Amino acid sequence: MLKFIHLRELYMRIFLLVAVLFLGLAGAYSTFLTKQISNYAIQEVDAVTIVKLGRFKTNLEQTIQRLKLSGLLLYQERNIGYWLNGISQDSYLDHAADSVLTDYIATERLVQDVYLFNFSTRSVLSARSGRIPFETFPDQEFLQALKGQSKVAVTINKQWMNGRDELVYTLPNDAVNQTSHGIMFIVLNRKQLSDELLLSNNEFESKLLIVDRDQSILLGGDPSSFLDDFRKWLSGDYPDRGQWKAGGEEWGIQSAEIEMEGWKLYLLSPQSVWKSKLFALNLRVLSYFFLMVLLLLVVLYWLSKRNFKPFTELLQKIGRYNGNLTKDTDKSSWRPPGHDFMMIHSGIDHLVNRVEEQARNIKESSPIVKDALLRQWLLSDFIGPSMRNDLTRTVKLMLDEPFWLAVLRIENYSAFCEKYDFSSRKLMKFALSNIVEEVVSSSGFLVEVSDLGGDHIVLILGESQESPDKNHQEAYFAVLEEAREQAIRWIGLESSIGLSGPLIPLENMYEAYGRTVELSKLSFLTGVSQVYTEDLKSELSAHPYGELDPEQTFELIQALRMRDKDSVHRLLEKLFNRLQNLPVEECHLQLIQLLYTLSKSFKPIVTSDGMVGIKRELEQFNSLMDLQQWLERLLLGGIEQAEARGKQKEDIFAEVLEYIGNQLHNAMLTVEDIAEHISLSPNHLRLIFKERFLISISDYILECRIHKVKELLVQTNWSITEICSQSGFQSKSHFFTAFKKATGLTPSQYREREGTS
């Protein structure tokens, strides 16, 4: 047998170690289990005994109460009262009282006899023996003791009568406000009481004893050595319950008070009966338990040999790679405890450290990760502590100091899209980003550039520690103007730039980003491409244009998006009929505002030089009809251009997917926003997207957000609240519901599972 035990083998050492541990735990657990079973059995026996004792107590109290009531009724019977109070002998009264006693004995099976004592007539009337003079009464000792008592109480107690102990119910005459000439004794049948009250349903061989105030046993058995031992136990300082040994047997004792008589009811249960059953039960439990342990050890040996034996080769490889094994280290050499596991542990730790270091380097140095962080920051309404830490490690800016936001918007973006396809546009915007970053950096400022898609790129400007103190607004204005000119020089892109004021690190970046985008669009009003600030916007706002009818403008824009030429013609007729009723100057202002609104909402509508170009174009027309025809040709031409672009579906899909990816953090992203970005109607976009990808665009956005949440849960230590905000969900409830429906797990459960795996 010993030849099969190879202690130098890893699997054998593991098996023996686990087996010893398992046997120790099994032994401890089996001991604990048997003890718990024993305690539970004792508690159950005690509970059953208490219930049984309570049932006996209730039955005894009811029986005694019934006997007392029947005795009182007998005592108050008219003929009995006359006989007890009689002062002379009366045969008729003797017969009447004897009849009453005979009837009472016949109906009360727990009553052995009834005695009436009349001290005036010196006679006794017995239910079984009839009238007896005092001189011939069999128990003269009892009679003399009764005469010597000055007062007899109403009670049930034990009396020595007729040569034996009897249980007697005593009723003196003065108990009912009569003369004390007579006393009634009701002798109870102790054997019948014991058989009926105490020995019924005695399946556990228990003993029930009733003890009075004087520690005298009233009911419960004949005199024996057992009762003598119990009397000795009662005479000492004893508890109401506990253990008692007598006659080689251990008894469990429970007691209950019979308050109406001042008695105690004792229930004595032999312990040997249930202890033998409990021992047999524990023996069976232990036998089955250790049989199961033996089977588990066999399975454990097989699993250990199968799973751990291949570790020998793995250990040799790890040792060779780490230089920890020499040629002298073979199967027969002794190894210190834990040597194999130390080699595995150190080898895996080394591998994990290298992988984590590579992942950390990739995460910290990758431009893709940095660009994603910048997009999340710009499109978020708040920045959490985890995201702030990631930004601090990734970007060059000092987030504890104020910074500026700039948006560089490409002019005439519709023509730019017609000239370049999607891939070429990305390359051109990448080149534009590099030019701007180089110009700003060479001026001594820190800058981060992010492409959020669409017609612009975003610059985050900060002051470097080496840059001199100067007016930052003017410095940034000059640097950005130079960057704009360099972009025209090298890649031929005309642009206008919006520059925000100083921002604090915790400010709402999404709101600041929106304001800066609006600044970059001021060139449409002025017709001049330059850098625009909040001050310039305030100057332009001092001369607002007239307001349009929102309902008519909205209907026209919807018709353009639906590419409904008939509706466009009809709505223009309606609009120009209204304009005919306005003064010339007011009409010009309304037309300028209309074209401006159409240009913002429908990108194929292109006007040159912004507001200045619109004014110049309007001056060429002599009548409102000519202007209407020109505008109709312009709008219908834009629809035809959009329809022509609709044929390039793959290019549109690429731009749609990029726009969705860049705007995932925006909780307000809608299909209408995407359709406006690519100049298509929302319904047409939904139709072609569903045909191409077999999924609705809303479901696709939700899938992208769920995928983004999974990445952030695994790759970052951000809180669930931050991830919810950065993934574009409008509320936590929607976030949790959508994620649970998609994965079957909560975000915390998914992070724990993926982190463990």
Residues in the chain: 757
| Number of domains comprising the chain | 5
Residue 216 lies in a domain: yes
Residue 376 sits in the same domain as residue 350: no
Residue 56 sits in the same domain as residue 194: yes
Residue 259 sits in the same domain as residue 110: yes
Residue 657 sits in the same domain as residue 746: yes
Residue 436 sits in the same domain as residue 531: yes
Given the structure tokens 């950096």, which residue do they identify? 441
Given the structure tokens 């976009």, which residue do they identify? 685
Question: What would the two tokens of residue 690 be?
Answer: 């569903």
Query: Among 242, 258, 273, which residue terminates a domain?
Result: 273
User: What Å distances lie between residue 610 and 3, 456, 500, 606, CA to CA?
Assistant: 97, 18, 22, 9
Given the structure tokens 């895996």, which residue do they identify? 348
Q: Does residue 207 sit in helix, strand or coil?
A: strand
φ/ψ (deg, to 5) at 210: -115, 125
Query: Among 338, 362, 386, which residue terminates a domain?
Result: 362
Q: Interior CA angle at 200 toward 196 and 206, to 5°?
A: 125
Alpha-carbon distance of 210 to 217, in angstroms, equals 6
Give per-residue pLDDT as tens, 360-369. 666 555 677 7
Residue 303 lies in a domain: no
Residue 67 sits in the same domain as residue 79: yes
Residue 525 sits in the same domain as residue 642: no
Residue 285 lies in a domain: no
Question: What would the two tokens of residue 143 be?
Answer: 């009679």
The predicted pLDDT at position 613 comes to 63
Residue 627 sits in the same domain as residue 715: no
Give per-residue pLDDT as tens, 2-57. 455 555 566 677 777 777 887 788 778 777 877 787 777 777 777 777 887 788 88
Residue 445: CATH number of its domain:
3.30.70.270
Alpha-carbon distance of 558 to 572, in angstroms, equals 13
Residue 702: CATH number of its domain:
1.10.10.60
Residue 292 lies in a domain: no
Q: Which of 430, 437, 526, 515 is nearest to 479 (CA)?
A: 437
Residue 297 lies in a domain: no
The predicted pLDDT at position 378 comes to 81
Given a contact cutoff of 8 angstroms between Cβ atoms, the answer to whether 575 and 557 are in contact is: no
The predicted pLDDT at position 434 comes to 92
Given the structure tokens 């749609």, which residue do they identify? 656
Cα 176 to chain center, whole Å? 73
Question: What would the two tokens of residue 621 be?
Answer: 């027309």
The predicted pLDDT at position 332 comes to 45
Residue 60: exposure state from Cβ atoms within 10 A (0-12, 13-18, ≥19): buried
Q: List the domain range (segments joined by +) for residue 530.
A: 367-541
- 403 forms bridges with which residues in the sheet? 503
Residue 393 sits in the same domain as residue 472: yes
Residues near 304 by beta carbon (within 8 Å), at least 6 away in sequence: 11, 12, 14, 15, 18
The predicted pLDDT at position 544 comes to 44
Give per-residue pLDDT as tens, 650-689. 678 888 888 888 888 888 889 988 888 887 778 888 988 8
Phi-psi region of 178 (alpha: psi -120 to 50; beta: other; left: phi over 0): beta
Residue 241 sits in the same domain as residue 140: yes
Question: What would the two tokens of residue 720 be?
Answer: 């669930």
> First-to-last CA distance in the chain?
41
Residues near 482 by beta carbon (within 8 Å), at least 6 away in sequence: 439, 443
Residue 141 lies in a domain: yes
Question: What would the two tokens of residue 744 be?
Answer: 């079957």
Residue 305 lies in a domain: no
Given a contact cutoff of 8 angstroms between Cβ atoms, the answer to whether 432 and 479 are in contact is: no
Residue 735 sits in the same domain as residue 674: yes
Question: What would the two tokens of residue 290 be?
Answer: 């250790």
Q: Which amino acid is at 470?
A: K
The stretches in the chain having pLDDT less than 50 are 1-2, 176-178, 200-201, 324-333, 468, 543-548, 647
- 161 forms bridges with which residues in the sheet? 164
Dihedral sign (CA 677, 678, 684, 686):
negative
User: What Å distances lie between residue 47 and 56, 265, 274, CA to CA?
Assistant: 14, 17, 14
Residue 486 lies in a domain: yes
User: What Å distances lie between residue 122 and 82, 132, 193, CA to CA?
Assistant: 15, 9, 32
Query: Among 273, 295, 330, which residue terminates a domain?
Result: 273
Residues near 625 by beta carbon (within 8 Å), at least 6 away in sequence: 576
Residue 356 sits in the same domain as residue 384: no
Given a contact cutoff of 8 angstroms between Cβ atoms, the answer to whether 674 and 697 are in contact is: yes
